[in-house]
A and B are shown apart, each in its own frame.
Chain A
Amino acid sequence: MALASSMSRASHVMTYRLIGVTTILAVWEAAGASGLFFRGVLPSSILIAKSFWRLMGDPVFWGHFGVTFFEIATGFGIGSVLGVAAGLMLGMNRYTGKVFEPVVEYLAATPKVVFLPILLILFGIGVGSKISLAALSCFFPMSLSLAAGVRAINPMFLRVGQTLNLTLLQRIAMIYLPALIPPLSTGLRLGFGIATVGALLSEIKLSNKGLGHAAMQAYARFDIPTMLAILIIIFALAGMGNYLIGSLVKLPGPDSSRRIKSPS
Chain B
Amino acid sequence: MMSNNPTLRISSVSKHFETGKGRVTAVDNVSLDIKQGEFISIIGPSGCGKSTLMNMIGGLITEYDGKVLLEGKQVRGCQPDIGMVFQEESTFPWRTAIENVAFPLEAAGVPKDKRLARAHELLDLVGLTGFENHFPSELSGGMRQRIAIARTLAFQPRILLMDEPFAALDEQTRLLLGDKVVQIQQQLEQTTLLITHNIAEAVQLSDRVLIMTFRPGRIKRVVDINLPRPRSSEMMGSEKFSSYVAEIWADLRTEASKGLKESEAAAAH
Partners in one complex: yes
- Check B84 against A260 for contact (C-beta < 8 Å): no
A110 interfacial contact with B, CB 8 Å = no
Residue of A163, A174, A260, A263 with most chain B CB atoms under a 10 A cut-off: A163
Residue of A160, A175, A259, A264 with most chain B CB atoms under a 10 A cut-off: A160
- Check A164 against B96 for contact (C-beta < 8 Å): no
Task: Tell me the minimal C-beta distance from B87 to chain A in angstroms.
Answer: 9
Interchain CA distance A253-B120 in the complex, whole Å: 20
- Tell me the B57-111 residues at the A interface (CB within 8 Å): 58-60, 77-80, 83-84, 86, 88-90, 92-96, 98-99, 103-104, 106-107
Closest to B119 in A: A262
Size category of the A interface is 20 to 34
A252 interfacial contact with B, CB 8 Å = yes
- Check A262 against B137 for contact (C-beta < 8 Å): no
Contacts of A164 in B (CB 8 A): 78, 80, 103-104, 107
- Check A254 against B106 for contact (C-beta < 8 Å): no
A221 interfacial contact with B, CB 8 Å = no
Task: Tell me the minimal C-beta distance from B143 to chain A in angstroms.
Answer: 14
Contacts of B78 in A (CB 8 A): 162-165
Q: A160-B90, A162-B60 are in contact. Are A254 and B84 (CB under 8 A)?
A: no
- Check B107 against A166 for contact (C-beta < 8 Å): yes
B116 interfacial contact with A, CB 8 Å = yes
Contacts of A220 in B (CB 8 A): none
B132 interfacial contact with A, CB 8 Å = yes
Interchain CA distance A174-B80 in the complex, whole Å: 18
A181 interfacial contact with B, CB 8 Å = yes
- Check B133 against A253 for contact (C-beta < 8 Å): no
Task: Tell me the minimal C-beta distance from B259 to chain A in angstroms.
Answer: 25
The residue from B84, B94, B151 contacting A252, defined by CB atoms under 8 A apart: B94
Contacts of A175 in B (CB 8 A): 92
Task: Tell me the minimal C-beta distance from A110 to chain B in angstroms.
Answer: 35
Give the tally of cross-chain contacts (CB within 8 A). 72
Contact with A along B206-245 (1 / 0, CB 8 A): 0000000000000000000000000000000000000000
Interface size on B, residues (CB 8 A): 34
Contacts of A154 in B (CB 8 A): 88-90
B18 interfacial contact with A, CB 8 Å = no
- Check B96 against A156 for contact (C-beta < 8 Å): no
Q: A164-B78, A264-B120 are in contact. Are A170 and B107 (CB under 8 A)?
A: yes
Contact with B along A163-179 (1 / 0, CB 8 A): 11110001000110011
- Check A263 against B137 for contact (C-beta < 8 Å): no
- Check B103 against A174 for contact (C-beta < 8 Å): yes
- Tell me the A32-71 residues at the B interface (CB within 8 Å): none
Closest to A175 in B: B92
The residue from A157, A166, A260 contacting B92, defined by CB atoms under 8 A apart: A157
B249 interfacial contact with A, CB 8 Å = no
B117 interfacial contact with A, CB 8 Å = yes
- Check A159 against B120 for contact (C-beta < 8 Å): no
B138 interfacial contact with A, CB 8 Å = yes
Q: A163-B78, A260-B98 are in contact. Are A156 and B107 (CB under 8 A)?
A: no
The residue from B88, B94, B107 contacting A178, defined by CB atoms under 8 A apart: B94
Interchain CA distance A179-B92 in the complex, whole Å: 8
B113 interfacial contact with A, CB 8 Å = yes
Interchain CA distance A239-B178 in the complex, whole Å: 52
Task: Tell me the minimal C-beta distance from B163 to chain A in angstroms.
Answer: 11
Contacts of B96 in A (CB 8 A): 252, 259-260
Task: Tell me the minimal C-beta distance from A158 to chain B in angstroms.
Answer: 10
Interchain CA distance A166-B92 in the complex, whole Å: 15
A251 interfacial contact with B, CB 8 Å = yes
Interchain CA distance A101-B241 in the complex, whole Å: 57
- Check B133 against A260 for contact (C-beta < 8 Å): yes
Interchain CA distance A163-B59 in the complex, whole Å: 8
Task: Tell me the minimal C-beta distance from B126 to chain A in angstroms.
Answer: 15
Contacts of B86 in A (CB 8 A): 156, 159
Q: A163-B84, A178-B92, A260-B96 are in contact. Are A254 and B135 (CB under 8 A)?
A: yes
The residue from A159, A179, A181 contacting B60, defined by CB atoms under 8 A apart: A159
The residue from A160, A170, A251, A262 contacting B120, defined by CB atoms under 8 A apart: A262
Task: Tell me the minimal C-beta distance from A198 to chain B in angstroms.
Answer: 32
The residue from B59, B60, B88, B133 contacting A259, defined by CB atoms under 8 A apart: B133
Can you report 18 A-B residue pairs in the complex whose CB atoms are below 8 A from each other? A156-B86, A156-B90, A157-B92, A159-B60, A163-B59, A163-B83, A163-B84, A165-B80, A170-B107, A175-B92, A252-B96, A252-B135, A253-B94, A253-B135, A254-B135, A254-B138, A260-B116, A262-B133
Apart from A253-B94, A262-B98, 14 more pairs, CB < 8 Å = A156-B89, A157-B92, A163-B59, A164-B104, A164-B107, A174-B103, A174-B106, A251-B94, A252-B96, A252-B135, A259-B133, A262-B116, A262-B120, A264-B120
